[in-house]
Amino acid sequence: MEHRMHRGQIAAASVLTSALLAFVPSSTASAGANAAPLVVNGRIAFSTGFIQPFPDTEGHSQIFSVNPDGTDLQQLSNAPKGSQAGDPDWSPDGSHIAYVSNVPGDFSVMVMNADGTGRHLLIHVAGSDFFTPRWSPDGTKLAVVHCRYLNGYLLGCDIEVMNADGTHRRLLVGSHVVNQDPEWSPDGTQIAFDSNRDGLVRAVWLVNSVGGGLRRLTRPAIEGWYPQWSPLGNHILFGNNAERPATNTFVMNPDGSRSRQVTHVPSPRSAFLATYSPDGRHAVFISDYLPGRGGDLFTMNANGTGVTPIVLDHPHVTFSDWAPATSSTDAATR
């Protein structure tokens, strides 16, 4: 299935997003500060439903990919009605996408080729759910969220690491809390994640990828969530207000210092789930900034300028990930 964006929608949205830019302070870091040289940006994958430790099982989520300029939208998954496929993550070489689906019954980790072919089950454990698979930088491992239940009651969500073929799964961060949204540092030595551990509503944490070294990066009041490393490993994007109505995207150093706001969408609207482009010069994110709509997909420069809508005709766009250009995803237009 393939269809293109409505150009009329893009034009109208561009007018509105010029207003959004008015909220971007001139003092933010210059675009390209996180740039990884010699990397070309490829396609963006995203899903259309809410799949996380508290999934929207009444909705219907599919995975799509699109060029960064919004052209050539393609549906990659084909989950039957009443089931979900979502939360895609490109392999480091852009050849595969890891994602989750409840087609096997419980949410399980799946892998498919970049064009949606070759879908296969990687790991499924009856009575528990997996969410948010994330490739290690060398492509040999996956970090996942594993949620366990008892008679419908959530016992906890752990961060686990396993080989890319689904073998040798081991616990990285556990306890009776919800740990989620893992993301490898570019050098593979650390994993950022968010959690409600330590009595906090939500905060961004860091742990060594081999275990140990657990430390909190964001202060409690900011309710940090969904951390995303810059390609050079010198910054981490994250959202604030994890459990409040309005959230914006922030950036901080990997030690938690120098936290500053990147998007400035006025409350009660939001800009969130931001992910860097492979070259680090841009980010893709979700926002309900445009009136009368659900979540739309936008790109921006890494400093928050140049906001551009790219997908407007899918309601409830959620998780996205930006691939490096490959022979199969060489659509670098930004």
Partner 1 sequence: MNRALFRRLGVASGGALLLALAVPAAGAGSLSSSAPDGQATTVMDGRLVFNDYGTGQLYTSNPDGSALVQVTHLRASRAFYPEWSPDSSRIVFNAFPTGEMRLYTIKPDGTHRHLVTAESPGYNDWAPSYTPDGQRIVYARCAPDPPGGGCAIYSVRADGADRRAVTTYGHGIREAVDFRPQVSPDGHWVAFSRFNWKGIGLQIWLVRADGTDAHPVTPARLRAGDATWSTDSRTLYFQAGPPLGLGIHVFKTPVNGSHVTQLTFTDYPNGDFNPDSSPSGRRLAFISDRTHPDLCCQDLYTMNADGSNQQFADTGLSLPGQPDWGSAPLQNGPSADVPQLSAAQLQAGKTLATRAETPGLLLLSSRSG
Shorter beta-carbon distance to partner 1: residue 33 or 201? 201
Going residue by residue from 91 to 130, which x/- string records binding to partner 1, judged by CB under 8 A? Answer: ----------------------------------------
Smallest gap, in angstroms, from Cβ of residue 275 to partner 1? 15
Smallest gap, in angstroms, from Cβ of residue 123 to partner 1? 20
Of 36-44, 182-190, 194-202, 305-313: span binding partner 1 (CB under 8 A): 194-202
Number of residues that bind partner 1 (CB under 8 A): 53
Burial of 232 (0-12, 13-18, 19+ CB in 10 A): middle
* Residue 315 contacts partner 1 per CB under 8 A: yes
Residues 166-185 that bind partner 1 (CB under 8 A): 175-178, 180
Residues 6+ apart with CB under 8 A from 11: none
Q: What angle do CA 16, 20, 24 make, to 5 degrees?
A: 160
Residues 6+ apart with CB under 8 A from 27: none
In degrees and rounded to multiples of 5, residue 14 shows phi and psi of -65, -35
Selected binder of partner 1 within 12, 36, 246, 325 (CB under 8 A): 246
* Residue 81 contacts partner 1 per CB under 8 A: no
Reading the block at residue 271, the tokens are 């800009």
How, if at all, do strands 215-216 and 203-208 pair?
Answer: antiparallel
β-strand partners of 24: none
Smallest gap, in angstroms, from Cβ of residue 222 to partner 1? 7
Give the 3-state secondary structure of 276-323.
Answer: ECCCCCEEEEEECCCCCCCCEEEEEECCCCCCEEEECCCCCCCCEEEE
* Radius of gyration in angstroms for the set of CA atoms belonging to the chain, rounded to a whole number: 18
Shorter beta-carbon distance to partner 1: residue 101 or 303? 101
Selected binder of partner 1 within 37, 80, 199, 212 (CB under 8 A): 199
Of 67-75, 93-101, 192-200, 297-305: span binding partner 1 (CB under 8 A): 192-200
* Residue 229 contacts partner 1 per CB under 8 A: no
Cα distance between residue 129 and residue 273, in whole Å: 21
β-strand partners of 208: 190
Chain positions contacting partner 1, by CB under 8 A: 49-50, 52-59, 149-156, 175-178, 180, 196, 198-203, 219-223, 225, 239, 241-247, 268, 270, 272, 288, 294-295, 315-316, 318
